[in-house]
Amino acid sequence: MEKNEIFQILNSNPVFHLATCENGQPRVRGMLLYKADNRGIIFHTGTFKDLYTQLKDNPKAELCFQDAKNNVQVRVSGILEETNDGDLKEEILAHPSREFLRQMKQASGAENFYKTYAVFIVKNAKAVLWTFADNFKPKTEIFL
């Protein structure tokens, strides 16, 4: 499988689980992908959340996507980088699936909202696919 096929799986299954580590304790939570493309794997969170602190303290993480329709699991590991790219933040905010962000911005005011709105990108990541058919085969890493 090639990089663009992996991106297609991720974009078609935007709910994923993100694993971080806090003081040696693993932490996992469900997240919502914004987009996976040649820029990297992009998602956002709030600066007031434990997740934000965990990623700032240790940016190594793993994301797990499940394509239940095709019985494929994709695990992506890499280093997450926070971006302050204003154009990307506005692109995310304008996306039809991010009405909830626009409501938060309106409720808190633009200045407060932008202090709490953090975007992360996983760049130079490695993906590993899992299927029932390949369950006992050696893993193959696909560089994204």
What's the pTM?
Answer: 0.93
- The series of mean pLDDT values per 10 residues for the chain, 144 residues long, is 95 98 95 96 97 96 96 97 96 96 94 94 94 92 95
Structural domain boundaries of the chain?
3-143
CATH no. of 3-143: 2.30.110.10
The reported pLDDT for the residue numbered 130 is: 95
3-state secondary structure the chain: CCHHHHHHHHHHCCEEEEEEEECCEEEEEEEEEEEEECCEEEEEEECCCHHHHHHHHCCEEEEEEEEHHHCEEEEEEEEEEEECCHHHHHHHHHCHHHHHHHHHHHHHCHHHHHHHEEEEEEEEEEEEEEECCCCCCCCCEEEC
The reported pLDDT for the residue numbered 124 is: 85
